[in-house]
Structure 1
Amino acid sequence: MIGKILGAIAGQRISKDFSGISGSGGALMGVGAATLLRRLSPLTIVAFAIGGYAAKKSRDKKSDIAKR
C-alpha cells in the first residue's frame, strides 16, 4: 500500500517534466510501475535498466548527429 502511494507521488512529479502526461496519468503510471517492479525478477529489472540506458545513449547520439 505504501509502495503504491509513493509510486503515485513519484509518477505525478515526473509527469511535470513530460508534455502530454497529466498529473493523474503520471500517478497511475507510478502505481503501475510499483506493482510491476514487485512482480518482476531482479534479473529482468536489470535487463530493463540496461536496455533503457542503451536506448538513451542511442537517442543522444542520433540527436548529436542531427545537430551537426
Structure 2
Amino acid sequence: MIGKVIGALVGREIDRRDGSGGLKGALTGALIGGGLRRMGPLGMALGAAYVGKKALDRRRMMRRGY
C-alpha cells in the first residue's frame, strides 16, 4: 500500500514538471511504483527521498516568493 502511494506521488511530481497533466503522470507513477516495489526497501527509500526533495524545493520557492 505504501508503495502505491509513493508511486502516485512520484507520478504527480513528474506530471507537475511536465506541465500538461492527466494520463502521463498516472501511467508513469504506476510504472515507477512497480519498479520501486521490486527494488524492495531501497526502492521505497529512493522514491520517498525524491518526493521529499521536491516538496522541500517547492516549500523553499514559496518562502522566497517565486
Scaled to the shorter chain, the TM-score interval is 0.3 to 0.5
Structure showing the higher helix proportion among its residues: 2
TM-score scaled to structure 2, two decimals? 0.46
- Higher relative CO (Cα under 8 Å, sequence separation at least 6) belongs to 2
TM-score normalised by the chain length of structure 1? 0.46
